[in-house]
């Protein structure tokens, strides 16, 4: 399952069957809806074995929360379907909370995405993704545009979606006029877009009761969700399945000699703030300037070198992280305040023995606070978990592929309308190198 073969985007000939795996009531509704739109569908108790010649699209609605063990079992089937150009359309509950169970569910879902599953959390978008895949095949990506009559219901839907995204600081599912487009949704009363218009051309009705014979998808929100689900799956499949191969390290231009020197100096299984940042620097990750001082006078010299104001915290391998309560003095702006902060943070950390030290660092550039953890999850192995305020927990298997690092970074949104966009490219670079 290390890689995926090339897939052709667009129409897949003779692909008109769907196998639905779902709880009875939901499955019955899905099959009835698909048949009403001219798509053959049937109930399956389990997916076909990997490698069979059956060309059914699998629409799978999980009946219980996904676990790491079940994700490993499903991954092989997802990979087989992805390599055949018809990824499993998987409906799963969105991850809520940030406890251990939520982390494992996020890791399990990310594992299936990495092996080509098209994961949906909204039932309408899930159904429309199945229809889109059956009738048009995989779009090349998630970028979409809408062509609608002025003053129409469809235009109102598309406008509301764009405004909602802007208000929350999220990226709009609609592309800017000059951006590349993978799918064009159009009102059939306007006729099909010119053949020179790039992307798949898909007729859409804003409401099901307004649909005609030529209509493929229903509802702008569900249709755009379907395009995002399948488009992201297509992009993920195109770069290869699973975590990044070890050979991808060569692309990052890591200072291997410096890294090996730092690793050789580590003692014990746990390392502190300063040693962690030295390792990150060896991986090519930019970090604020900082150094360790064992006396107030040495701390003053370091603060002058870094430039006021500075931040001061205790040094040690046995200290909690800053979010977990490590004492820190911020905005320290003079020699006298450095001396005072030196004593204060050591006292708060109960570091009163001779030789106790502090970290003096330049004040980091203001930005959004994001928590990133590398965890070895049961069955799944090493996983990168990102927790950003205002966004659901996100995860991806390590080592990160570039597309997974970018997907994690996309979860960081501006906290207020009009706030500058976060540096997602910079965050993706840090995540990829750290993984």
The matching CATH number, chosen from 1.20.950.20, 3.40.50.620, 3.30.1490.20, 3.40.50.300, for 251-362 is 3.30.1490.20
User: What is the 3-state composition of the chain as percent helix, strand, coil, each rounded to the nearest 5?
Assistant: 40, 15, 45
Its pTM stands at 0.84
Contacting residues for 53 by C-beta, under 8 A, at least 6 apart: none
pLDDT at 343: 94
Structure tokens at 268: 């014990």
Q: What are the residue ranges spanned by the domains of the chain? A: 17-238, 251-362, 369-434
Cα(104)–Cα(378) distance, rounded to whole angstroms? 8
Asked whether the beta carbons of 219 and 128 are under 8 A apart, the reply is yes
Task: Please state the φ and ψ torsions of residue 34, each to the nearest 5 degrees.
Answer: -70, -45
Q: Between helices 220-238 and 68-83, what is the axis angle to 10°?
A: 80
- Residue of 196, 179, 222, 240 lying closest to 403 (CA atoms): 240
Q: What are 57's strand-pairing partners? A: 18
3-state class of 270 per DSSP? coil
Sheet containing 358-362, strands listed edge to edge, beginning at the edge strand earlier in sequence: 290-293, 358-362, 310-314, 329-332
Residue 21 CA to residue 27 CA, distance in Å, equals 7
Strand-pair partners of 217: 204
Scanning 177-318, the segments in alpha helix (DSSP H) are: 220-238, 256-265, 273-282, 296-306
185 in helix, strand or coil? strand
Dist. CA 244–CA 233, nearest whole Å: 16
What are the tokens at 389? 């305020």
**Do 93 and 62 meet the contact criterion of CB atoms below 8 Å apart?**
yes
Alpha-carbon span 208 to 157, nearest angstrom: 14
Distance from C-alpha of 182 to C-alpha of 290, rounded to nearest angstrom: 46
Query: Average pLDDT for consecutive 10-residue bins of the chain (435 residues)?
Result: 41 67 95 93 84 80 92 93 94 92 96 97 97 94 93 94 81 78 92 86 90 85 96 96 87 80 73 83 86 95 95 91 90 96 94 90 85 92 91 93 94 68 86 87
Which residues, at least 6 apart from 120, have a Cβ–Cβ distance to it below 8 Å?
89, 90, 91, 92, 126, 129, 225, 226, 229
In this predicted structure, what is the pLDDT of residue 51? 61
Write down the number of H helices and E strands in the chain. 12, 16
Q: How far from each other are the two terminal CA atoms of the chain, in whole angstroms?
A: 21
Whole-angstrom distance, CA of residue 86 vs CA of residue 19: 12
């Amino acid at each position: 399952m290390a890689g995926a073969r090339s897939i052709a985007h667009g129409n897949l000939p003779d692909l008109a069957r769907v196998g639905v795996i779902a709880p009875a009531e939901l499955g019955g509704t899905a099959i009835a809806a698909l048949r009403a739109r001219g798509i053959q569908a049937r109930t399956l108790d389990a997916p076909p074995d990997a490698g069979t010649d059956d060309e059914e699209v699998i629409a799978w609605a999980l009946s219980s929360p996904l676990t790491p063990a079940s994700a490993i079992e499903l991954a092989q089937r997802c990979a087989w379907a992805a390599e055949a150009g018809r990824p499993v359309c998987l409906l799963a509950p969105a991850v809520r909370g940030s406890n251990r169970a939520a982390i494992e569910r996020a890791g399990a879902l990310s594992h299936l995405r990495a092996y080509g599953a098209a994961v949906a959390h909204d039932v309408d978008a899930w159904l429309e993704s199945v229809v889109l895949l059956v009738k048009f095949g995989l779009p090349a990506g998630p970028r979409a545009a809408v062509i609608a009559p002025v003053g129409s219901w469809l235009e109102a839907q598309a406008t509301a979606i764009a405004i909602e995204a802007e208000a929350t600081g999220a990226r709009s599912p609609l592309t800017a006029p000059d951006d590349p487009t993978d799918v064009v949704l159009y009102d059939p009363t306007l006729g099909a877009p010119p053949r020179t218009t790039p992307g798949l051309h898909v007729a859409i009705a804003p409401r099901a009761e307004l649909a005609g014979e030529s209509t493929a998808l229903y509802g702008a929100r569900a249709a755009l969700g379907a395009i995002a689900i399948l488009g992201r799956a297509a992009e993920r499949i195109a770069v290869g399945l699973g975590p990044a191969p070890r050979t991808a390290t060569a692309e990052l231009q890591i200072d291997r000699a410096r890294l090996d020197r730092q690793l050789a100096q580590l003692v014990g299984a746990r390392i502190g703030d300063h040693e962690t940042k030295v390792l990150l620097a060896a991986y090519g990750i930019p970090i604020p300037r900082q150094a360790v001082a064992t006396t107030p006078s040495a701390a003053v010299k370091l603060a002058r070198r870094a430039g006021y104001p500075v931040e001061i915290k205790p040094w040690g391998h046995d200290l909690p992280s800053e979010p977990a309560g490590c004492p820190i003095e911020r905005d320290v702006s003079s020699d006298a305040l450095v001396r005072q902060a030196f004593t204060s943070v050591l006292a708060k950390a109960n570091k009163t023995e001779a030789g106790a030290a502090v970290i003096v660092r330049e004040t980091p550039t203001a930005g959004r606070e994001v928590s990133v953890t590398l965890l070895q999850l049961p069955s799944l192995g090493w996983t990168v978990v990102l927790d950003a305020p205002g966004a659901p927990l996100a995860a991806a298997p390590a080592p990160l592929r570039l597309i997974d690092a970018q997907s994690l970074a996309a979860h960081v949104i501006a906290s207020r309308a009009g706030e500058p966009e976060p540096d997602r490219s910079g965050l993706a670079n840090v995540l990829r190198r750290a993984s």
